[in-house]
Amino acid sequence: MSGPTGRIPWSLPERTDRRRAVVDAGLAAVPTALAVALGVVPLAVLLVESLSPPVTLSNYAALGESVYLPVLVRSLGVGVVITGACLAVAYPVTYWLAHVCPVRYRLPILISFTLPLWLNYVVLNYTWVWILATDGIVNTVLTAGGLVDRPLDLLRTASGIGIGPVELPGPSVGLGFVHIYLPYVLLTMYVSMERLDYRQVEAARDLGAGGLRVFRDVVVPETYAGAVAGALIVYARIAGAFATPQILASPSEQMIAQIITTQFYDVLDYPFAAAVSVVFLVVVLVGFGIGALSTDVRAELKRW
Amino acid sequence: MVNPVAETSDRTGAAGWVRRHAVAALRGGFFRTTVVATAVFLYLPVVVVGYLSLSPGSQPSIPLDGVTLRWYGAVLSDARFVRGLVTSGVIGVVAAVAGTGLGLLAARTIVRARLPGWLRASVAVVVAIPLFVPTVVVALGIGITAGRVGIGFGLVPVVAGHLYWVLPFSTFLIASRYATIDRRMAEVARDLGADGVTTFRTITLPQLWPALVASVLFAFALSFNEFLLTFFLAGSGVTTMPLEIYGKVRIGATSFLNAASVLVLLFSGAVAAVAASLEPPT
**Which among A41, A100, A183 has CB closest to B145?**
A41
Give the chain B residue nearest A46 (alpha carbons).
Answer: B141
Contacts of B25 (CB under 8 A, 6+ apart): none
Contact B8 A208 (CB under 8 A): yes
**Which among B141, B227, B276 has CB closest to A243?**
B227
B234: phi then psi, degrees, rounded to nearest 5:
-70, -30
Give the chain B residue nearest A1 (alpha carbons).
Answer: B197
A to B CB pairs, distance under 8 Å: 278
- Tell me if residue A167 falls in helix, strand or coil: strand
Give the closest-approach CA distance of B114 to chain A in angstroms: 5
Contact A131 B264 (CB under 8 A): no
Cβ neighbourhood burial of A23 (10 Å; 0-12, 13-18, 19+) = middle
**Which among B106, B138, B197 has CB closest to A31?**
B106
Could you tell me which residues are beta bridge partners of residue A162? A167
DSSP state of A55: T
What is the ipTM score, two decimals? 0.85
Tell me the pLDDT of chain A (304 aa) as tens digits. 444 444 444 444 566 777 878 888 888 889 999 999 998 999 999 999 898 777 778 788 777 777 788 889 889 999 999 999 999 999 999 999 998 888 888 888 988 888 888 888 888 888 888 888 888 888 888 888 888 888 888 888 887 777 777 778 888 999 999 999 999 999 889 988 988 888 888 899 889 888 888 888 888 888 888 888 888 889 889 999 999 999 998 888 889 999 999 888 888 888 999 999 999 999 999 888 887 777 777 777 766 5
Alpha-carbon span B197 to B203, nearest angstrom: 10
Q: Which residues of A touch B131 (CB under 8 A)?
A: 304
Q: Which residues of A touch B282 (CB under 8 A)?
A: 107, 110, 190-191, 194
Distances in whole angstroms, Cα of residue B87 to Cα of each of B77, B144, B256:
16, 24, 20
Contact A208 B11 (CB under 8 A): yes
Q: Is pLDDT at B6 greater than 50 in this prediction?
A: no
Contact B134 A281 (CB under 8 A): yes
Contact B195 A2 (CB under 8 A): yes
